[in-house]
Amino acid sequence: MIDHLCFDILNGHDYWLPFTLNSANRVNTLIFDAIAPGGDIRVTLSPINTKSTYQTDIPVYNLAIGGCCNSSSYIRRTNNSNAAKVVQSSAVECLADKNRCTYWFSFDSQTGWVSFGKGTDTSLSKALLKWQDPSPLLNL
């Protein structure tokens, strides 16, 4: 299982990094370092290992830090850019414009909490943005 991932997002390129979370664990957390000159870090958590979730209504968790040119961060229940965001904040910026920053995304399959934060303290109380899904995705 990958528990720490390092990558750079340059020139608007997307990097698809498929991997399997430990489904035996109730809580799965991805900790990674990123430099995002455009201020846009996105992670999609999907039970389907494919790029084909983009612009569809296939159930996924789509999380963005500093989306829309660093104007908002959000969690969305699908990967369709026209879909409503379940939680959004203009106060949460991507701070990785020039320097590498550590972020984390977490999913609790039992309680349905989807969250993300900055640094290595992955507790729900330290989340920059969080949402409790009333119908959590299975097999994630």
Residues 6+ apart with CB under 8 A from 126: 117, 119
Least confident of 3-7, 46-50, 60-64, 108-112: 3-7
* 19 domain residue, yes or no: yes
Give the model's pLDDT for residue 115. 92
Q: The domain containing residue 59 runs over which residues?
A: 4-132
The pLDDT tens digits of the residues spanning 91-128 come to 666 565 667 788 888 888 889 999 988 888 999 998 98
* 139 domain residue, yes or no: no
Query: How many C-beta neighbours within 10 Å does residue 34 have?
Result: 18
* 138 domain residue, yes or no: no
- What is the number of domains present in the chain? 1
Q: Name residue, tokens 């039970």.
A: 47
